Structure 1
Amino acid sequence: MKIENNSLTSLALQKFKRNFWGVFSIVLIGLIGLVSVFAYVFAPDASKNANQMHLSIHSKTPGFQVQMLTIPSRQTSNQSFFSKLFFGVDNLDTEIPISSYSIKEGMLSYMEYAVNGGEGIEKQISLSNFPNNDYQKYIDTRTFIFGTDKYGRDYLSRILIGSRISFFIGFVAVFISLIVGLIMGSLAGYYGGKIDAVIMWIINVTWSIPTLLLVIAITLALGKGFWQVFIAVGLTMWVEVARVVRGQIISAKEMQYVTAARALGYKDYRIITKHILPNIFGPLIVISAANFAAAILIESGLSFLGIGAQPPMASWGAMIKDHYNYIILGQPYLALIPGICIMLLVMAFMLVGNAFRDALDVKT
Structure 2
Amino acid sequence: MQLRHQSPNYYIRRRLLKNYPAVAGLAIILLATLVALLGYTVMPDDTPNANDGAIQLQKQLPGFKATMLRIRKNAEIEERSWLGELFFGQPTPYLLEPIAAYRLEDLKLYITPYGENTEKAYDLPGVVLALFIGDHQNSSFPNNQNVVVEGDVVRYLNVAGQEEQISRSELLQRFEEDHLEERYYLLGTDKSGRDMLSRLMYGARISLSIGLVSVLVSLLLGVTFGAMAGYFGGWTDNLIMWLMSVVWSIPGIMLVIAISLALQSRGVFVAFIAVGLTMWVDVARVVRGEILSIKEKLYIEAARAYGLNNRQIIWGHVLPNLAGSLIVIATANFAAAILLEAGLSFLGLSVQPPTPSWGIMIYEGYHAIGTQNSWHLVVFPAVAISLMVLSFNLLGNGLRDAFDPKTLIK
Q: TM-score, normalised by structure 2?
A: 0.85
Aligned to 1:347: 390
Aligned equivalent of 2:224: 183
- Does the C-alpha gap of structure 1 residues 6 and 321 become closer, same or farther in structure 2, counting only changes over 3 Å? same
Matched, 1:252 2:253: no
| Matched residue type, 2:12 | A
The 2-side partners of 1:203 and 1:299 are apart by 22
CA–CA distance in structure 1, aligned partners of residues 290 and 118 of structure 2? 69
Could you report, residue by residue, the CA deviation over 1:302-327 in whole angstroms, capped at 9, with x for unpaired residues? 00001110011000000000111434
- CA displacement, residues 277-322 of structure 1 (integer Å, 9 cap, x when unaligned): 0011111111111100000000000000011100110000000001
1:124 to 97, 117, 122: 122
Shift of 1:168: 1.1
CA distance in 1, matches of 2:65, 2:235: 68
Asked if residue 171 in structure 1 is aligned to residue 212 in structure 2, the reply is yes
Once structures 1 and 2 are overlaid, which stretch shifts more, 66-75 or 315-324? 66-75
Counterpart contact for 2:79–2:90, Cα < 8 Å: no
For residue 2 of structure 1, report the CA deviation from its aligned partner. Answer: 8.4
AA at the equivalent of 2:97: I
Paired position in structure 1 for 2:42: 42
Whether 2:248 is the aligned partner of 1:203: answer no
Q: How many residues align?
A: 361
User: Which residues in structure 2 correspond to 1:1-364 (within 5 Å)?
Assistant: 4-73=4-73, 75-114=76-115, 118-127=116-125, 129-130=127-128, 132-133=170-171, 134=173, 135-137=175-177, 138-222=179-263, 223-330=265-372, 331-364=374-407
In structure 2, distance between residues paired with 1:311 and 1:68: 25
| 3-state SS, counterpart of residue 38 of structure 1 | helix
Instruction: Determine helix, strand or coil for the equivalent of 1:363.
Output: helix
Q: Are the aligned partners of 1:327 and 1:333 in contact in 2 as well (CA < 8 Å)?
A: no
Q: Is the 8 A contact 1:108 1:127 kept in 2?
A: no
Whole-angstrom distance in 1 between the partners of 2:98 and 2:127: 18
Matched AA of 1:141: E
> AA paired with 1:119?
N
Q: Is the contact between residue 100 and residue 112 of structure 2 (CA under 8 Å) also seen in structure 1?
A: yes
Instruction: Give, as a single letter, the amino acid of the residue that structure 2 aligns with 1:106.
Output: L
Q: Which blocks of at least 5 consecutive residues in structure 2 are unaligned?
A: 130-169
Structure richer in helix, relative to its length? 1
Inter-CA distance 16–148: structure 2 relative to 1 (3 Å threshold)? same
Conserved? CA contact 1:111–1:123, under 8 Å? no
Could you tell which deviates more after superposition, 214-223 or 154-163? 214-223
* Contact 1:50–1:158 (8 Å) recurs in 2: yes
Letter in 1 for 2:197: L
**Cα distance in 2, alignment partners of residues 161 and 301 from structure 1:** 17
1:330-358 Cα offsets, whole Å, 9 max, x none, are 42111010000000000000011100000
Letter in 2 for 1:26: L
Once the 2 structures are TM-superposed, how far is the Cα of residue 187 of structure 1 from its aligned partner? Answer: 0.7
Once residues 123 and 106 of structure 1 are traced to their aligned partners in structure 2, the CA distance between those partners, rounded to angstroms, is 10
- CA deviation after TM superposition for structure 1 residue 162, in Å: 1.1
Letter in 2 for 1:256: L
Cα deviation 1:134-192 (Å, max 9, x = unaligned): 21112021111111111111111111111111111110000000001111011111111
Structure having the higher Rg: 2
What is the deviation of 1:120? 4.6
Are the counterparts in 1 of residues 108 and 121 from structure 2 also a CA contact under 8 Å? no
Give structure 1 stretches of 5+ with no counterpart.
none
Change (3 A) 1:82 1:184: same
Q: Percent identity?
A: 43
Change (3 A) 1:121 1:305: farther
Answer whether contact 1:113 1:120 (CA < 8 A) is retained.
no
Asked if structure 2 preserves the Cα contact closer than 8 Å seen for 1:300 and 1:316, the reply is yes
Q: Distance in 2 between matches of 1:360 and 1:120?
A: 68
Structure 1 runs (4+) deviating above 6 angstroms are none
Give yes or no for contact 2:110–2:119 (8 Å, CA) kept in 1.
no
Cα contact 2:256–2:349 (8 A) shared by 1: no
CA shift, 1:121, in A, is 4.6
8 Å contact 2:59–2:190 — kept in the other structure?
yes
Match of 1:130, as an amino acid? V
Q: Which amino acid aligns with 2:318?
A: I
2-structure distance, mates of 1:302, 1:121: 45
